[in-house]
Structure formats: C-alpha cells, structure tokens
Structure 1
C-alpha cells in the first residue's frame, strides 16, 4: 500500500492534473492486484488445509502450480490492459491531457504488474506455512526501494533524466522485480516450499484445480471493489479534476488506514483453514470473534487520528486549496465506516478460508452494488460530494452488520453439524 501512497505524494508535486491522472489509475491497478489477491487466497486456503491434514508433498506441488498459473495469468492480463488503456479511462471520465499522463504511467505499470503477481502469491505460500514475517520483510524492502527511486526517477538526479509520472511506474517495476527474485530464492532454496522445476500438464491441472475453485470467485469478489471504485470515480469526475485528485489521495490513505485489517485478513485465513481441516470449529469461531472486536475498536481509533490530523495530511499532499478542503472533508466522514468495513473484509476472508468462495463473492457484490454504488450515486445527487462521502460510510456500516450476522450463523450451523456427526 505504501507504493501507491508514496507515488501519490511525489506525483502531487507535479501538479493537480498529474495527481488526478494517478487517481484515475487506482481502480484499474487495484483490479490487477485483486486477481493476485484472489489467487493468493486460493493458494493459502488449499495449502494451509493440506498442511493441517499432514499432506506436505501435495502442498509443495500445489505451491509450484500456483506460481506457474500466476505468471501466465499476469502476462495475459497485462497484454489486455495495454490494449484497453484508452477506452477504459475515457469511460471513467479522464480528459485528453490526463490520458497522456495515464498512458505514460500505465504502459510501464502493466509490465511491473507481472513482477508483482508472483511475490504476492509466493507470500501466500509462506503465510500458509505459518511464516508471516518473511512476506512483510519482502514487501517492506520493496517499499523502501520504491521510496528511494521515486524522487530520483520522477524529478531526475545527475545523469538520470526526469521521467515525470512515468518515473513512479519505473520505480515500482524495479522494486517488484527485486522482490520477485528474493521470494523465489526463499521458496526454492531456503525453505524448499516449491519444486525447483516446472510441472507437467497433468501435475499443473491437479495442483491448480482447488486453487482456481477458491481463487477465481475470490479474485472476482476483490475485483468488484475497484470496478465499483471506477464507477464512483466517474461520478466524482463530474466535480472536476480537483475532486478526482482529492478522491485519489483519500483512496490511498484508506489503504494505509486499513492496513491492520488487511494484515488480519491475510493471517486469519491460514489459521481458520488449518483448524477447519482439523475439524476444530470452535477455535475458528473464537478467532473470528476476537478479530472482529479488535478491528472495530482499532478502526475507531484510526478515524479519530485521521479526523484530528486531516488539515496536516491535506497540506502534505497538495498546495491547492480546493483539493485540500476536499481531502479534509473526506477524512472527516469516510473513515467513520472503516470499522464495519473491516468486519466485511474479515468475513470475506473467513468464508474463503472455509472453502465458501461463492458466499464471499455474494457478500462483496451486495456490499458494492446493492449498497456502496447506489448509495454513493443517491448521496451525490441529493447532497453533492459530501453526500457521496456520507453514503459510502453508511453503506459500510450497514453491510458490516449483515456480514457479522451471516458469518456467525454459518459457524453455529457448522458446529452443530459437527457435534451431531460425532
């Protein structure tokens, strides 16, 4: 998440049009990342269950197949992305000048996306085996490289030419490429969690079938988020480039504000899958309830911090008064719903961990296209931009309550069935 935030910070120094351009790219780049997240969820759920059942050889083959599948899908998605840059961003409301900047950024970013996909899935293999430290080291090191390279490549330094907005994408590509080689070294040489060879066709089909069964619906569920964000971005674009720039900054800040929730959504599923595989359903329910309670309290604390520091944060990202005032309004309203949004995220990951990907997909569809997008449109129509912000917060609160009740009902039913079967 720091990649996007750091890029936004430095690109904001180039001007409002460049900041608006990078804001338009967020829904599209997160769509690509959502595919990786979905594959990672499927990989983690299958491997953790295999490890919980003591089937280590099958887990190793599955991890190898997951990385091969990820590479192929990432390349296909990158090619499709490059071909569709102009029509997609025109549909979102980008003007001709913004399209110039968007093309400069996205042509390089799609190439970088191939290097991101495999480390993300590789990190899921490590988390499924119980190692949550190494993935954070890998991503943190990549983030540090990006922080160092961003100002050098964007503004130029010595013999390095100023690449402008494209420099941010080049920095990202380099950082992710380093992360890819390091994670492959960890998986193949140090931990021996994947096979040091390519699988044949039969092995690949056998190892990826379960991943796709969970990963495709999970990826679909995650992809709904940036698709809905793209629709709302188009609504925001009606208020001008300043509003789009502020909306983009708010989205990047939301990612950072939700980082603890996202970390729990990655570390909770292997725990749930392993206990699910061992038929210890009571522990599954206890873990889910504990995480929900923590997330609600934590995100209320984050809301208070963001509201108090909203003026300072806005000044960091822009000198434009209109952009700054909209960022402040965003931070005073939208984070109020982060706690219950976190409950929905945890419920989604719990459904996937229990091998219920269609329930996760249904929940996310309901959150975004029954609540978030319609509420945002209605709020914008009646109360302008502030109404859109309030509508998003209310939608997250409503769906979070539904998600909690849904998950607890399923867990109670599964536990009752388990007791009766004994």
Structure 2
C-alpha cells in the first residue's frame, strides 16, 4: 500500500497554469496504484490549520477515487527536526513536509527542487508573491511553496488617535511621522498614576534587520557567518541612531525586546497607542474582548526616500528529496495548495495570510479591513536572520547601553563590540 506523508511544522487573479482556466477540486490526473495518503501535522499546530488540512484531505479523497487520506498529529517533544529524523530511521515514508525555513535541513538537501515539477506541467510561480519565491529559492532550487507569511506591521489604537484628533496612519508615512505621532498620542492619552507611551518599538534582530535592509545593508554577511562590518556598518548605524534619537529625546516610545508578547501585552493593557508586531497579532487582539475592534494596522514606515524592508517569517510546504511518491506529492500541491479555487484557500485564509495571489479575492480575505496593507508589505519582504543562520535565534541585540544611546559614535561603539561577540559565538558553535 503506497503512502504519501505530509509533515507539518510551525514556529508560530490568474491561474498558475499558462493558458488554462482556473482550477477546480477535480483531479488533474490519475495516480495509478496510489491507495493511501497520510498527512502528518505537529500536535502543536493551530486548530484552524489542522481543520484546513482535514477538510482538504477529504476533498482530495473525493476527487481521487481509491486514494485514502489520513491526518495524523505528530508529537515533537525533542523538536521537529529530531522527529523527522526518527521517522526516517524507522523507515517511515515522508513525502510532503510542512516546515519553517530551516537552514540545516536545506543544507542537508532534505527538500526537493520544485522547479522541474513546475516546468513539467508548464506552470510558473507568477501567482505566488515574488519576494517569497525569491526567499524560498536556494542556489537556483525552489525548496517549497511559501505559506502563512508574517510581515511586520504597525498596530494602532483607533480610539487613541481619535482622542488626539489625528487621522489614522497612511501608507506613505515615515519614521519621523511615526515618532511625531507617538509624542501626540502620549500627550493626549495620559492617565494619572500610569506610565503611558505613544508607541512600543521592538529592538530585536527582527526589527534591526528590517531597518538595516531599509538602509540598503544587511547586518550579516552573505554566507550568514559574520556580523562585523555589517551590523556596525555606517548605513546600519545611521538607521538605528535615527530611531534611538527620537526615542531617547521624546521619551514617548518604549523599547521592548521582541515583536511578540512584549508588544501585545503593552497594547492589550492600553499602555501604548501603537506597537510594531507580526501580522498574526491581529487575531489575538480581535479575540480579546477588551481590545476587539479597537485596533487597526498600518505598514512599516519608510526610512527615507521610500526605502523600506520588512523581515518576513513564513512556513514552507515542501516535497521530501527522499520521497518515492513525488508525483503524488506534487499532485497534492497542485490540487490543494496551489489551486486558487480550492477549499483550502478559504479555510486557511480565516487566520493566515494566503500566498496564492488570485486566491485572496476569491477567499474573502480582503474583507478583513487592512489586509491590503499586509499584502503590500510582502513587496518589501526580506529574509529574517535565523533563516540565514539558525544560531542567531538565541542572540539578543540590545541592552540598556544601546537603548540610551543618542549619537552615531555611541551606537557604533556598541554595535562593533556586539558584532565581534556574536562572531565569536558563531565560530564556537560551528
């Protein structure tokens, strides 16, 4: 009995076919001898994603008589990579892998190249977001289909803006405007006995790389193994100094360590009027009774001269290089994941951004106010640092000595020392 295994890992308007009409859930071809497909997802996956896979599995069965699709949740107490290795050692087939952008697995050639598969069906990647395709292409190989991207955005409290008598942020705003509005928000929304900020700014690797790339310079070398000369380069130092100068002179913006919980907690407690976070922060804000309906989101501000970059995390659906069922695995991708008319798009789009462009209007996702803002941010997408070197996941960028800096000389001294320290860490861990 042949099996196709789809393995899932989470960290947190035209058809793709040239000259063909939009796909339906009807089978694109028959798969002789294919009887059983097993879709494995991490047991920590979100309910919506598991449900989306389960519904799509049933539709795939209906469209392909003789094929049975099982959805199995994979427990990963030792981590996802270890769980995959254990499956391989047990000689369990792995055909489709739903994973984060794992540099180690990529270097080990775990993922098959999808380019020949697209070409064999006379398909292109034109219906996928160009920047995400670029980020998913390694040494000329397309290692997977990007899913659920998480661009950074500015979440703002609409009531705070109304009270300050200011219009909501527009798509063309700059960092200067962001900080000027932070000052006004703080002044208009003060509460006796409570520390209030106009904005919350995460100064971790995620945000720093976005700023650096906005200046035209990454904070790490192309090979992902050196920060000296990059993190402390003049363009990066100037960009970070610009933000710190605003923050330290006005005292209207609070620096936090990351884009996740620290920002969400400040917004949820109404301690700040704006906060920079990943796109999926919208859902818990809407799901929390005291914040539901109170927040809108705006794009990351431009640095200057319309310069902007947005470090975007995302996941991949890949085909395992060692799969003996590549044909069936590719068929699942075509019929379910790449099909703009599939039920998968409608279900997945309830809580995650879609990556098949023509599926977005069909899924109803544009009914989410501000979704156009998040989609536009994908045009500025750049690769997050951990996708270039997984060891950078544990690196902390800022401490009090950086957060209190106001001059380029102070920032340069701190970043030079930090770059040297991180470089030693990367060498030691090799």
Q: Quickly name the TM-score band, shorter chain normalised.
A: under 0.3
Greater radius of gyration (CA)? 2
**TM-score for the superposition, normalised by structure 1:** 0.24
More strand by share: 2
| Structure 1 or 2: more helix by fraction | 1
